[in-house]
Amino acid sequence: DGGITQSPKYLFRKEGQNVTLSCEQNLNHDAMYWYRQDPGQGLRLIYYSQIVNDFQKGDIAEGYSVSREKKESFPLTVTSAQKNPTAFYLCASYDRVGPEAFFGQGTRLTVV
Amino acid sequence: QKEVEQNSGPLSVPEGAIASLNCTYSDRGSQSFFWYRQYSGKSPELIMSIYSNGDKEDGRFTAQLNKASQYVSLLIRDSQPSDSATYLCAVEQRSSASKIIFGSGTRLSIRP
């Protein structure tokens, strides 16, 4: 069953902690993306990757980091430098043939 | 100027009528254009993609693209209450290594 999986669904972070959000896909897509969504807002691009071992900053990369060591995986770390991390985080992989971006179910991060 | 602009709404349309959603984009190098529907608390799901000037129809949905005017729209015919959601316009900017940018979304409400 092909798809894109994000975990965990809900995540709580204490002030000053780094946390890592997981994103795995078995769709064999080269391109993957991370977006942040705040209540009542659209999706803002954090980082994206077109190929293994390469990634680019999006519009709001400050306070976040990523890696792309495997085609299937694109984890996002929310660092303590991100001052307002409470949001809904969405990972997507992109099929250029369709074309279509497929989304995971999202991770809702809350700072406690 | 925002890279992808949409009216935030809410747009209220009576059941059975045509809903018209609009989007403009700034990057003339953009290649592919998408309309996603998002229900509250859920991930976006693709409704239509379009990359050639003109109209593309799929059931009750029609996407329209005008690259000269940098404008893309979505028409929903015979609107149903289940169409009530936020509609997100997205654009693939090939000039920026296939960066996919989303608008802020338009909230659509279908009134019975």
Q: With helix as H, strand as E and coil as C, how does B21-54 read?
A: EEEEECCCCEEEEEEEEECCCCCCEEEEEECCCE
Q: What is the mean pLDDT of chain A?
A: 93
- Would you place residue B65 in the very low, low, confident or very high pLDDT band (cuts 50, 70, 90)? very high
8 A C-beta contact, residue B37 and residue B82 = no
What mean pLDDT is predicted for residues B83-109? 90
Residue B101 is predicted with a pLDDT of: 94
Set of chain B residues whose Cβ sits within 8 Å of the Cβ of A9: none
Q: Is A5 on the interface with B (CB under 8 A)?
A: no
**The token pair that represents A64 in the structure block:** 């976040």
Kindly tell me if the per-residue pLDDT of A2 is higher than 80: no
Residues of chain A with pLDDT > 70: what percent?
Answer: 98
Residues of chain A with pLDDT > 90: what percent?
Answer: 80
Residues 43-82 of B with CB under 8 A from A: 43-46, 49, 51
Kindly tell me if the per-residue pLDDT of A63 is higher than 70: yes
What mean pLDDT is predicted for residues A32-48? 95
What mean pLDDT is predicted for residues B82-99? 88
**The token pair that represents A57 in the structure block:** 């900053």
How do residues A76-112 score in pLDDT, each as one tens digit?
999 998 889 999 999 999 988 878 899 999 999 998 8
- Nearest residue in chain A measured CA to CA from B42: A105
Residue of A41, A43, A51, A96 to mutate, testing the B interface (most B Cβ within 10 Å of its Cβ): A43
Bigger pLDDT: A50 vs A98: A50
Residue B79 is predicted with a pLDDT of: 97
How do residues A73-85 score in pLDDT, each as one tens digit?
999 999 998 889 9
What mean pLDDT is predicted for residues B69-76? 97
8 A C-beta contact, residue B101 and residue B93 = yes
Q: Is A74 on the interface with B (CB under 8 A)?
A: no
Among residues A30, A92, A60, A48, the alpha carbon closest in space to that of B93 is found at A48
Radius of gyration of the CA atoms of chain B, in A: 13
Set of chain A residues whose Cβ sits within 8 Å of the Cβ of B99: 45, 48, 56, 58
Residue B94 is predicted with a pLDDT of: 76
Among residues B86, B92, B85, the alpha carbon closest in space to that of B25 is found at B92
Residue A74 is predicted with a pLDDT of: 98
Kindly tell me if the per-residue pLDDT of B11 is higher than 80: yes
Residue A1 is predicted with a pLDDT of: 62
What mean pLDDT is predicted for residues A4-18? 93
Set of chain B residues whose Cβ sits within 8 Å of the Cβ of A60: none
What mean pLDDT is predicted for residues B22-48? 94
Residue B96 is predicted with a pLDDT of: 61
Residue type, B24: T
Residue B54 is predicted with a pLDDT of: 96
Q: Is A103 on the interface with B (CB under 8 A)?
A: yes
Determine if the peptide bond prior to A99 is cis (ω within 30°): yes
Q: Compute CA B15 distance to the chain's CA centroid, rounded to the nearest angstrom.
A: 19
